[in-house]
């Protein structure tokens, strides 16, 4: 069967099928790209009193924090304590991280560790706010994994609301998670599904994780 378009030329119907087939992967890629882009949307980098290095993640977070510290974007590095221990030892992971930062040129007086155990990003936000109040810091750049940026922003802004302090969220650079490619790996799907699940839970008031 043929189709008669406005210009009168006859176009075989099967060509429409091929056109839809070719458009499908493009449309799918755009949806997946948008899905990843929402999670990694970051705040603009502005010089702040402190750089907050959230616990967990890999070396990318540390590298990003050191890079911003070296650029003078923050004078203090705040570390959050989740109670984790370094593999194969009884040493707190946050203490190992502190020693690593010292070895890489950070001044001892420029490192703060939050008080209280954080079992979620929400806890980290509360403990960071307390640390900033106690040390008279009024602004912070928070570093986390790219796929964790959107939820981190929601939680930190909830905790910091009304405090008068400024908090900006930044993704770790040189990270494996990219909006255009996350769906090509199992860990990309795992991270994305996990974050969206936690965002849905957040809508119902569940702030853990």
Tens-digit pLDDT profile for residues 31-56: 999 999 999 999 999 999 999 999 88
| pLDDT attached to residue 14 | 47
| Residue 209 counted as domain residue | no
> How many structural domains is the chain composed of?
2
| pLDDT attached to residue 2 | 46
Whole-angstrom distance, CA of residue 57 vs CA of residue 64 = 12
| Residue 28 counted as domain residue | yes
| pLDDT attached to residue 12 | 57
β-bridge partners, 132: none
Q: Would you give the DSSP letter of residue 5?
A: -
Task: Say yes or no: 33 and 99 in one domain.
Answer: no
Lookup result for tokens 């809508």: 203
Task: Say yes or no: 118 and 22 in one domain.
Answer: no
Which residue range(s) make up the domain with 18?
10-39
Closest C-alpha among 91, 83, 75, 88 to residue 55: 83
Whole-angstrom distance, CA of residue 67 vs CA of residue 63 = 6
Task: Say yes or no: 16 and 103 in one domain.
Answer: no
| Residue 146 counted as domain residue | yes
Q: What is the DSSP string of 128-171?
A: HHHHHHHTT--EEEEEE-GGGHHHHHHHHHHHHTTS--EEEEEE
Q: Which of 36-40, 89-93, 141-145 has the lowest mean pLDDT?
A: 89-93
Task: Say yes or no: 34 and 69 in one domain.
Answer: no
| pLDDT attached to residue 19 | 55
Does residue 5 carry a pLDDT above 70?
no
Task: Say yes or no: 47 and 35 in one domain.
Answer: no
Task: Say yes or no: 15 and 95 in one domain.
Answer: no
Task: Say yes or no: 25 and 56 in one domain.
Answer: no
**CATH code of 97's domain:** 3.40.50.620
């Amino acid at each position: 069967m043929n189709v008669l378009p406005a210009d009168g030329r006859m176009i075989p119907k099967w060509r429409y099928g091929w056109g839809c087939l070719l458009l499908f992967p493009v449309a799918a890629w755009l949806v997946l790209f948008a899905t990843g882009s929402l999670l990694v949307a970051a705040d603009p980098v502005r010089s702040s009193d402190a750089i907050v290095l959230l616990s967990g993640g890999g070396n990318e977070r540390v590298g990003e924090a050191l890079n911003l510290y070296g650029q003078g974007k923050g004078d203090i590095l705040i570390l959050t304590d989740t109670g984790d221990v370094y593999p194969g030892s009884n040493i707190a992971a946050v203490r190992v991280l502190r020693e690593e930062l010292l070895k890489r040129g950070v001044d001892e007086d420029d490192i703060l560790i939050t008080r209280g155990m954080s079992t979620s990003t929400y806890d980290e936000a509360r403990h960071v706010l307390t640390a900033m109040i106690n040390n008279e810091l009024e602004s912070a750049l928070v570093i986390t994994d790219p796929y964790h940026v959107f939820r981190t922003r929601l939680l930190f802004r909830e905790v910091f609301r009304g405090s008068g302090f400024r908090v900006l969220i930044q993704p770790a650079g040189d990270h494996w998670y990219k909006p255009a490619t996350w769906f090509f790996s199992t860990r990309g799907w795992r991270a994305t599904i996990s974050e969206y699940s936690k965002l849905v839970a957040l809508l119902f008031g569940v702030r853990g994780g």
